[in-house]
């Protein structure tokens, strides 16, 4: 696949056929993704291919719990778990989400059947290997992700090259202690994503994104648009 085409067509895919994804395919995908750029070439990522149905079911339950909170915050006009938000409105929305979950309210089809995806990869990062230059700033830390998320993106690109589709999810990480117990994550590590892959029922042919001039400026962030 031509690179520009891959960059413009690797969208989030959540609807898969029943065709399985063989371990050999996952190995090829990871074999390509491991060349992703990362800080100091520390290669901080660790991957667990989750196959056990009982483990998958427990991850699904954690995903669904987070899903209800996500939906409740969206319904309240909030960006779910945004680092800068209205904490009181968020707390009230999260409570409504928990009540919906505890009442057994239905979740979306993807969330409800999260355990049935053809391939599930849990991706974690070794915190001892991340160079998080913003760690001590008085704000939300984000820089350390630069050493692991290019790897996750490379998984999705490599999967696309194999004729697969997928999506990076973070919903279950809302309950990281439980997720860590389920997957045996060491205390020195943190989850970055759960990536699901499969043969897409339909691949979107045209993705919608903002134009360059809407998010890029010259010299300063309050400068004139780059057009």
Whether pLDDT at 5 is above 90: no
Q: Mean of the pLDDT values across residues 54-70?
A: 97
Is residue 163 within 8 A of residue 199, CB to CB? The reply is yes
Task: Express each pLDDT in 8-20 by its tens digit.
Answer: 889 999 999 999 9
Whether pLDDT at 7 is above 80: yes
Q: Mean of the pLDDT values across residues 80-95?
A: 97
- What integer best gives the mean pLDDT of the chain? 96
Distance CA(114)–CA(50), nearest Å, equals 12
Task: Express each pLDDT in 161-202 by its tens digit.
Answer: 999 999 999 999 999 999 999 999 999 999 999 999 999 999
| pLDDT on residue 83 | 96
Distance CA(213)–CA(164), nearest Å, equals 32
Confidence band of 204 (pLDDT split at 50, 70, 90): confident
pTM for this one? Answer: 0.94
Enumerate domains of the chain plus CATH numbers: 3-50+111-213 (3.40.109.10)
Whether pLDDT at 53 is above 80: yes
Cross-sheet strand order for the sheet of 45-49: 45-49, 119-126, 189-198, 165-169
Would you state the structure tokens that stand for residue 200, as one six-digit string?
Answer: 């897409």
């Amino acid at each position: 696949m031509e690179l520009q085409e891959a960059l413009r067509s690797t969208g989030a895919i959540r609807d898969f056929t029943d065709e399985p994804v063989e371990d050999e395919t996952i190995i090829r995908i990871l074999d390509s993704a491991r060349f992703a750029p990362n800080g100091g070439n520390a290669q901080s990522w660790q991957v667990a291919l989750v196959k056990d149905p009982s483990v998958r079911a427990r991850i699904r339950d954690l995903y669904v719990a987070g899903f209800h909170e996500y939906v409740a915050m969206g319904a309240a006009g909030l960006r779910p778990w945004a680092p800068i938000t209205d904490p009181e409105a968020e707390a009230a929305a999260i409570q409504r989400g928990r009540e919906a979950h505890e009442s057994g309210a239905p979740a979306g089809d993807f969330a409800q059947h999260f355990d049935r995806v053809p391939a599930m990869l849990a991706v974690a990062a070794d915190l001892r290997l991340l160079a998080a230059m913003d760690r001590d700033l008085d704000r939300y830390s984000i820089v350390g992700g630069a050493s692991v998320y290019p790897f996750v993106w490379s998984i999705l690109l490599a999967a696309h090259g194999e004729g697969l589709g997928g999506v990076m999810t973070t919903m279950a990480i809302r309950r990281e202690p439980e997720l860590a117990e389920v997957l045996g994550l060491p205390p020195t590590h943190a989850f970055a994503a759960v990536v699901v892959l499969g043969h897409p029922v339909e691949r979107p042919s045209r993705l919608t994104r903002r134009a360059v001039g809407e998010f890029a400026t010259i010299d300063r962030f309050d400068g004139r648009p780059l057009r």
